Structure 1
Amino acid sequence: MEVEIISREKVKPSSPTPHPLKIYRFSLLDQIIPSTFFPAVLYFLPESDSDTSQKIHILKESLSLNLTRFYPFAGIINDDLSVRCNDEGIPFFVAKVRGNLQDFLSRPDLLVITKFLPIEFKFDTANCFECGGMAISIVVAHNVADGMTVSAFFRGWAAAARSTGEEICPKFIGRDLFPSIDTMERESKLFCHDFFKFLRLGKYVTRRYLFDASVIAKLKARSASSDASSPTSIEVVSAFIWKCYMKVFADKSDLEKPFILTHPVNLRRRADPALPDESFGNFLWLTAAQCNSPADTNLKDLASEVRRAVRKIDNGFIKVLQNNGFYENLEETRKVLPEGANCLAFSSWCKFGLYGVDFGWGKPIWISSFVSGDSPAMMANSVTLMDTRFGDGVEAWLILDEKYVAAFEENEDIQNDVLVNPSPLQFGKKI
């Protein structure tokens, strides 16, 4: 599938950023995030009277309006502590895709997704298919914002495109709640230092698996505890994938090393009272579950361990963090991130509301995540969890070292319970 850039320009905020806001300062939680980038691609089926040029015009005009509210996105990262909000604007590319969106969705080639991303990982691209369908992609610097902020940005952009008068306004409360530590050494940056020690050089490939509602219900039943506490869909799917991953090592010497599962936890929903979903920036902390005897551990035990790890990041943890307790919490977290462990790194984009984004021509038929290419890279084995269109299932996007993939997919549980890269046009339909 050929993708050709046919135009490129910068879209600037419709109104200048007020002088007092020209420097956007990072919070403590932004500080501990590495200078990496992450993408999202939203796919929209064509309408019968689709006018692509009019859609592009609407996208650019509404993007300009939205940037007045999400003004740090239109600036330049100054240093490790701030963004210079100079209204420079963001690159906006329009690309022509030679092909039909429904053909692509019928049997998604995951490597093709990289063609829909902005070149050189610049901000935004509208990919226009010959059929009138669109794939709108965005790439964001992670130390500026997390996935929840990207969702708020998309929802605000879409609201501006529909011209309904609705506004999604970001809440710039991060630095007030979690003041930065200007003298922080790199070794104290949780996601930069502690997580990066699990990176390995290898050839990584991407696989996509679907857990539908019936499979999730079955996994929850297998994981139910006697204390009547039930794991969430995210917790039980994470535990299941972790179990299958550990089984890959059953006959290897690596089995002697501890296995850990890491999950970034969204602090907005752990605070009491909860922080707004529109809170701008990063509101994440890393937690980890550990297993030392995978051969003797069942799904219920693993789901319980994942649940325990996630629940540990609670309002009390957040209060300590807010009251000069960063190093105390950091030390506690590092105890469950042992050097040399076999790490499977999870993140979740579930319940972010991206399937509700509507620019005026319908909601997305599908949303895709990051895809690893086919060249050697320094990465950690990782999993990104995504909603399905109707919110009744979970997609798992696995990036695995190529040498593990065959053994992982030979797992009987994977073969019996999980759909491998199904068409987004077929699954999750309402009855």
Structure 2
Amino acid sequence: MIMSKLLRLGKRQHHTIVSRDIIKPSSPTPSQLKTYNLSLLDQCAPNSYMPIVAFYPSSKIYQSSVDKTFELKNSLSQTLTQYYPFAGRLKQYGPKCVDCNDYGVEFIEAYNDSSLSDFLQLSKHKDFDQLFPNDLVWYNPSLKGDKDENNITCPLGVQVNHFACGGMAVATSLSHKIGDGVTTLNFINHWATVTKQSRFRDKKDAHLINPNVIHWQTRHTNFPELLSCKSCVGCVTRSFLFPNQKLNDLKAKVTAMTVESGKPIMNPTQVEVLTWLLHKCAVAATTRANPGTFKATGMAFPIDMRNIMVEKLLGTTMGNIVCMLEFPTSNQSEFAPDITIGELRKRKSQFQSMINLEVATSILAEMSFETVLETSKRIDESYIYSSLCRFPTYRIDFGWGKPVKVTVGGGIKNFTVLLDTPNDDGIEAIVCFEKEVMNTFQQDPELLAFC
């Protein structure tokens, strides 16, 4: 038993790309839809890619992986008729828009000589990056393959990875300029549903909902990115699991602390208390890694606006429909949970009072370049916490059953992503810090008490 494990640990993993193809929409995009203008929120989004991968065990449905890949290509082609901007090209100059020219999406196929269980058990988080197309994992200064021969950006890349056991990992990387995490997950779920329907043609799936595409007016700005991505050079990414019972203990602790302070936070959510704990420990680790220094910094928390404004948007609305909650911290006393969580709730309520998305974007449109630049600088110096909890990550069913794991690739300095666990029994935090900070952070006893 021990010798078998040692042999597996010593084996060099081979991950090989075996094919590249371009998948075009199954129907041409109508002429009146050939130009998709980016909203102001899209234009201020970071110039990065959002990498999401779903892992599936071996399935007896197909005779070979070739049949499975063929079906995935066909369903992707059908899906792109609805998500037609994804098959176009992002223009770099002039009006910020997507040329919906149906050039298509690159579909890469790769093989890994490990079994899926070994890969998930023995791999470090950085090993997931090879599953994504052309190194498109968040921000990478050496990005390759994200532009065509005319140096025009491709919004989407797809890579299907086969494992020796017959398992599979389906990975997508979507440009943040064209959509947020909700857009990405909606697209993957739509693609999965189309694939599943193709196998069960006599059963209509009522969950297939086409994207809500808003047609924005042409608006050319020179606004900086509101959420600039920082290089991950010299950083490491780690995963921390927080079981529900431990999170309930943390909620009880936070409630008691805030009651004692005289500013009670009632019914804190798991995401709220975990974000507070992670931020408190992150800043403490940074301070200890740089003895004698405490830098005034802050936390930024992007939230989905689709369902919080007075006039709700459809959950399938495409684009960057997010607002940024930012809480500056100038001294260590501001890390009390009543202050951190209270300020985040206060800022969220301001967006909840907005009538609709037009009002939100008009506020941004009226801001001066200098104001937006200052906001960009403040957020760039912050720790960013993005939650994909309660989003449909584990409903991505291509007809082979639900995934055994869904995660993100890569990492950005001081960036944390929160995800549900497969059985909804806790939250996984994927955290990226500089190596020295991570060494201190992962040994914090207060953090470990809730893992």
TM-score bracket relative to the smaller structure: 0.7 to 0.9
CA drift of 1:33 comes to 1.0
Q: Conserved in 2, the CA contact under 8 Å of 1:260 and 1:337? A: no
What letter matches 2:17 in structure 1?
Answer: I
Structure 1: 5+ residue runs without aligned partners? 373-378, 419-431
Q: Conserved in 2, the CA contact under 8 Å of 1:288 and 1:337? A: no
Pair 1:5–1:319, CA change in 2 (3 A): closer
CA drift of 1:134 comes to 0.2
Pair 1:323–1:57, CA change in 2 (3 A): closer
Pair 1:335–1:119, CA change in 2 (3 A): closer
2:407 corresponding residue in structure 1:
368
Pair 1:126–1:315, CA change in 2 (3 A): same
2:183 corresponding residue in structure 1:
149
* 1:134-181 deviation per Cα after TM superposition (whole angstroms, max 9, x unaligned): 000001111011111111111111111111443320101262xxx563
2:49 corresponding residue in structure 1:
37
Paired with 1:42 and 1:35, the residues of 2 have a C-alpha distance of 23
What letter matches 1:70 in structure 2?
Answer: Y
Query: Any idea what SS the aligned residue of 2:306 has?
Result: helix
Paired with 2:379 and 2:188, the residues of 1 have a C-alpha distance of 39
Paired with 1:73 and 1:338, the residues of 2 have a C-alpha distance of 30
Q: How does 1:95-174 map to 2 (within 5 A)?
A: 95-121=110-136, 123-163=157-197, 164-166=203-205, 167-173=208-214
CA drift of 1:345 comes to 1.3
Aligned: 1:206 with 2:237: yes
Paired with 1:214 and 1:406, the residues of 2 have a C-alpha distance of 26
Q: Conserved in 1, the CA contact under 8 Å of 2:50 and 2:174? A: yes
1:273 corresponding residue in structure 2:
311
CA drift of 1:3 comes to 1.1
1:376 corresponding residue in structure 2:
none
What letter matches 2:435 in structure 1?
Answer: E
Pair 1:310–1:255, CA change in 2 (3 A): farther
1:414 corresponding residue in structure 2:
447
Aligned: 1:345 with 2:358: no
Paired with 2:361 and 2:78, the residues of 1 have a C-alpha distance of 37
Paired with 2:276 and 2:33, the residues of 1 have a C-alpha distance of 44
Q: Conserved in 2, the CA contact under 8 Å of 1:117 and 1:125? A: yes
Q: TM-score, normalised by structure 1?
A: 0.85
Pair 1:329–1:320, CA change in 2 (3 A): farther
CA drift of 1:228 comes to 5.8
Q: Conserved in 2, the CA contact under 8 Å of 1:17 and 1:85? A: yes
Paired with 1:297 and 1:382, the residues of 2 have a C-alpha distance of 18
Query: Any idea what SS the aligned residue of 2:108 has?
Result: strand
Structure 2: 5+ residue runs without aligned partners? 1-12, 137-145, 147-156, 198-202
Q: Conserved in 1, the CA contact under 8 Å of 2:226 and 2:379? A: no
Query: Any idea what SS the aligned residue of 2:446 has?
Result: helix
Pair 1:223–1:327, CA change in 2 (3 A): farther
* 1:200-222 deviation per Cα after TM superposition (whole angstroms, max 9, x unaligned): 78511101111111111111112
Paired with 1:307 and 1:327, the residues of 2 have a C-alpha distance of 25
2:140 corresponding residue in structure 1:
none
Pair 1:180–1:211, CA change in 2 (3 A): farther
Q: Conserved in 1, the CA contact under 8 Å of 2:43 and 2:223? A: no
Give the superposed CA RMSD.
Answer: 2.7
Paired with 1:62 and 1:323, the residues of 2 have a C-alpha distance of 34
Paired with 1:32 and 1:254, the residues of 2 have a C-alpha distance of 36
Aligned: 1:260 with 2:298: yes
2:267 corresponding residue in structure 1:
230
What letter matches 1:186 in structure 2?
Answer: F
Aligned: 1:67 with 2:80: yes
Q: Conserved in 2, the CA contact under 8 Å of 1:23 and 1:84? A: yes
1:423 corresponding residue in structure 2:
none
Paired with 1:296 and 1:22, the residues of 2 have a C-alpha distance of 50
Aligned: 1:15 with 2:27: yes
Aligned: 1:388 with 2:425: no
Aligned: 1:307 with 2:320: no
Paired with 1:238 and 1:49, the residues of 2 have a C-alpha distance of 41
Q: Conserved in 2, the CA contact under 8 Å of 1:211 and 1:395? A: yes
Paired with 1:82 and 1:341, the residues of 2 have a C-alpha distance of 25
Q: Conserved in 2, the CA contact under 8 Å of 1:72 and 1:85? A: yes
Q: Conserved in 1, the CA contact under 8 Å of 2:394 and 2:402? A: yes
1:190 corresponding residue in structure 2:
226
Q: TM-score, normalised by structure 2?
A: 0.82
Query: Any idea what SS the aligned residue of 1:172 has?
Result: coil
2:152 corresponding residue in structure 1:
none
Paired with 2:361 and 2:234, the residues of 1 have a C-alpha distance of 43
Query: Any idea what SS the aligned residue of 1:88 has?
Result: coil
1:218 corresponding residue in structure 2:
249
Pair 1:370–1:201, CA change in 2 (3 A): closer
Q: Which stretch of structure 1 is more off in the superposition, 17-26 or 105-114?
A: 105-114
CA drift of 1:266 comes to 1.1
Paired with 2:395 and 2:240, the residues of 1 have a C-alpha distance of 22
- Among candidates 47, 58, 61, match of residue 46 of structure 1: 58
Pair 1:317–1:222, CA change in 2 (3 A): farther
Query: Any idea what SS the aligned residue of 1:106 has?
Result: helix
* 1:316-350 deviation per Cα after TM superposition (whole angstroms, max 9, x unaligned): 28568347322567898888777599521111222
- Among candidates 41, 55, 60, match of residue 68 of structure 2: 55
1:425 corresponding residue in structure 2:
none
Pair 1:311–1:237, CA change in 2 (3 A): farther
CA drift of 1:255 comes to 4.3
Pair 1:217–1:317, CA change in 2 (3 A): farther
Query: Any idea what SS the aligned residue of 2:351 has?
Result: coil
- Among candidates 231, 239, 246, match of residue 283 of structure 2: 246
